[in-house]
Amino acid sequence: MAQQKHDFHLVDPSPWPILAAFAAGLMMFGIALFMHPEALGSIMGIPVHTKLLFVGVLALFYFTYRWWRDVVREAQYEGHHTPIVQLHHRYGMIFFIASEVMFFAAFFWAFFDASLYPKAATGGVWPPKGIEVLDPFHLPLFNTLLLLLSGTTVTWAHHALLEGQRKDLVLGLSLTVLLGVIFTSVQIFEYTHVAFKFTDGIYPSTFFMATGFHGFHVLVGTIFLAVCLIRAARGHFTPQQHFGFEAAAWYWHFVDVVWLFLFACIYWWGA
């Protein structure tokens, strides 16, 4: 009577999703206070917002690790991810990426509103007076080439997986993760050498929000692919069942496409 007679997965109760949500909220609270460091002051010489941000990031990493470890166990060892469950996961990933598109649409909207209709605060011109913009054909172009190459290597890894070539799968994923790390490093270097700060007006605000939010996505995608690399090295993926890797590849291609729009609109046209 207790035998399951359907292909759906009834998930066991888990504390990790709600704990991860609280950790993400704490992290975002710390980021908001980072822009207003005087709000809560400091304790023992360390700003409160720094402590909140640090605790939030650590908690988020720990809780999401425990959460997704359980998901991997359900898929790999307990056999709960039947074809119909995988189909629903695909729908979920599509809707998640669609929601991310809306995030970036808001940032682009703010940028185009400010650039197409310059206000008196910007001197009636765009870029605003006094803003020294970045050369789009220097580091931004280099990062564009990095991401385009990483899209090629992750596609190579996907085809290698479908053809059962595990060595090429691991190599392709390794190169993709390496390119993601290099991209993030170059963007950090760019931020530390840019001639304006976040609070210097509408151009720096829209620039840092759009490119910084994308940079966060690159970091998340790199971690996502690194986990897939570890799983691939352990033989978790098969040509028939590999949604974890497929979702990571979709996410990475989405990050690639968004960067092309950022490069063309903000770095090149906006400058």
pLDDT computed for residue 123 by the predictor:
82
Architecture of domain 15-80: Orthogonal Bundle (1.10)
pLDDT computed for residue 4 by the predictor:
66
More confident residue, 184 or 196: 184
pLDDT of residue 1 exceeding 60: no
Q: How far apart are CA 145 and CA 196, in angstroms?
A: 25
Q: How far apart are CA 102 and CA 82, in angstroms?
A: 31
**Two tokens at 270?**
């906006």
Fold of 82-269: Four Helix Bundle (Hemerythrin (Met), subunit A) (1.20.120)
Helix (H) / strand (E) element for 42: namely strand 42-43
pLDDT, one tens digit per residue, over 222-250 is 999 999 999 999 988 998 888 999 999 99
Percent of the chain with pLDDT over 70: 96
pLDDT, one tens digit per residue, over 33-88 is 877 777 767 776 677 778 888 999 999 999 999 998 998 888 888 878 888 888 99
Domain(s) labelled CATH 1.20.120.80 in the chain stretch across 82-269
**What's the mean pLDDT when you consider all of the chain?**
90
The DSSP code for 126 is: S
pLDDT of residue 6 exceeding 70: no
Domain(s) labelled CATH 1.10.287.70 in the chain stretch across 15-80
Cα atoms found within 13 Å of the Cα of residue 27, Cβ hemisphere only:
14
pLDDT of residue 174 exceeding 80: yes
Query: What is this structure's pTM?
Result: 0.89
**Two tokens at 28?**
């975002």
